[in-house]
A and B are shown apart, each in its own frame.
Chain A
């Protein structure tokens, strides 16, 4: 028996005329499951720190032009004189180039700031597209069942069995490479796993008595889907969304690294790592590879830890209760 079982077996005290406890002073306004989750999240230190990190990265992305003005270095400007050593190697971190330069003499700090914009943009847009498609498909498959479900479930299986990288590379070679195609590729490959999760949730929620109650009162399919089912699958969707953002960011970086994503000279983390990888200069200039990699690592780590926190907040029965 865990604490969770006991807590759930303990009814909430009511403020009846006969029962005046400390709870009697509680506000009449109900504490919504959302607020409870938020309050739990607020108590989670790791999640809080990672959220601060995420906010910092967002701020850096937004104020990227400020870096440009402060340093006086546009992201794609190549400084062959000042940015490279006489041997033509990248310069290490100095006063002018705080995080050093790359093999073309560009300012890594400024490029990282601009790269954050692409990473976040792709991370957020691709994720939302993915989640929207996945939720719709999952809802439809789970709720309508029967033939709709069979067809959609097979489609999900097919999608999950296509090798991502091969498909992405060939798609990008047919169409023009660029941001849009990256987002579309990520969404096409992401939605099926979201749909699978949502479908599973809907299948179990569809059998709940409150859905039966709604049907017994004469509620139509749309009403049941939107009012009775969707709010109950939204928590796992939110959790999955926060965990999907870093996946999308890494996915974008991977595609750009392979050259089928964002094209040079646009500043992009994946592209920067690829440049460093392919350049001979990296043997002498560690900063060239390390800073973009660290930026990617910190960002995905922050989103992942935050996602874990969100999951714990929505699912108080998980083991963290004992803290």
Chain B
């Protein structure tokens, strides 16, 4: 049984301009000790989805289920959720100051965290544990640093301190929402290395939410590619990078300068992401898709590609990869025209 299983999650907000559909029927599951990468651009709903699961969205209309060890998180009371957060599920955000209080010492916050969930732990024992945690995430001189305030830490150290907070109670699952986006690459490498090592040591499952396919390639076992509140494609890491089916996944990868061989020109996805209030009918990617055809005015479900469950793609292109290649090449003529129009505009 999966550790966390999300089924048909829908999240919408009412705004003065209309109903904003942030997540539209998202399903995924995370196994123990594995890392699930959720990748998508801004507005894809990747953060809203996980925050909703943890009961952190306000004023939203929510449906679906999120089973954590068989219990539906969406049905839980605030009190029950509070117990789950921290003890069972740790959270790491982009901005460390969102979970580190600026006016309290880092160590004190760790100790509070430990003792809040287990009163039996003595003050001294909790402090030893806090020092140990800081050592685990690679804070130098943890026995001294434990008495520092968050502002005395550098950006990378704060991020690591937040990881220590998330790991304090040995949670089964850690949700990391763009944990390294604000960091420089060398510090990002440090932080990702810490997370990987902790996962190996404690068998924690991780949900890694990011816009960076490079991070996904580094840490994820399984990947969900999201666009406009939907999963466009799911599969294991090498499937997504080397045998992807969905044109959006393909477009994302082709827009990266670091993907594939050196190319003179990048291949951007044309157009802009849709407004979540006035979504186009049918496939949300249709207006930007080079392979769009008449079938696409209908919204595609997640089709199984190959063996059931291993690889899914929400696209009307043939599920047989060889047939898909043919259709792709046939539409390439049309696509060339589209590209021509695009460049003439430039």
Contact = CB atoms under 8 A, between A and B. Distances in A.
A58 to B, nearest CB: 30
B56 to A, nearest CB: 7
In this complex, the interface size class of chain A, counting residues with CB under 8 Å from chain B, is 20 to 34
B288 A18 contact: yes
B275 interface: yes
Contacts of A212: none
Interface of B: 13, 15-17, 20, 22, 42-43, 47-48, 51, 56-59, 270-280, 287-288, 341
A6 B13 contact: yes
A308 to B, nearest CB: 17
Given A7-B20, A13-B272, A322-B59, A21 B280 contact: yes
A10 B20 contact: yes
13 contacts: A1-B48, A1-B56, A2-B59, A3-B13, A3-B59, A9-B43, A14-B272, A16-B271, A18-B270, A18-B287, A19-B288, A21-B279, A23-B275
Contacts of B278: 13, 21-23
A40 interface: yes
Interface in A209-251: none
A11 interface: yes
Nearest to B16: A321
B280 to A, nearest CB: 6
B58 A2 contact: yes
Contacts of B47: 1
A323 to B, nearest CB: 8
- The SS class assigned to the A binding surface is loop
Given A1-B57, A7-B20, A13 B274 contact: yes
A2 B43 CA distance: 13
A21 B288 contact: no
Given A1-B51, A6-B22, A10-B43, 6 more contacts: A1-B48, A6-B48, A19-B272, A20-B287, A23-B278, A322-B59
A287 B20 CA distance: 54
A12 interface: yes
Contacts of A18: 270-271, 287-288
Main secondary structure of the interface of B (DSSP, over half): loop
A7 B271 contact: no
Contacts of A20: 280, 287
Contacts of A3: 13, 15, 20, 59
A30 interface: no
A273 to B, nearest CB: 42
B219 to A, nearest CB: 24
B287 A10 contact: no
Contacts of A322: 59
A17 interface: yes
Nearest to B270: A18
B335 to A, nearest CB: 12
Contacts of B271: 14, 16, 18-19
Interface string A188-209: 0000000000000000000000
Contacts of B58: 1-2
Contacts of A2: 58-59
B43 A11 contact: yes
A19 B13 contact: no
A19 B51 contact: no
Nearest to B276: A10
Contact of B16 (A16, A19, A40): A40
Interface in A277-323: 316, 321-322
A13 B20 CA distance: 13
A12 B43 CA distance: 11
B269 to A, nearest CB: 11
A43 B279 CA distance: 25
Which of A6, A11, A22 has the most C-beta atoms of chain B within 10 angstroms of its own C-beta? Answer: A6
B13 A21 contact: no
Contacts of A11: 42-43, 272-273, 275
Contacts of B280: 19-21
Q: Top 9 closest A-B pairs, CB basis?
A: A13-B275, A19-B287, A18-B287, A21-B278, A10-B43, A3-B13, A9-B42, A18-B271, A14-B272
Interface in A1-60: 1-3, 6-7, 9-14, 16-23, 40, 43
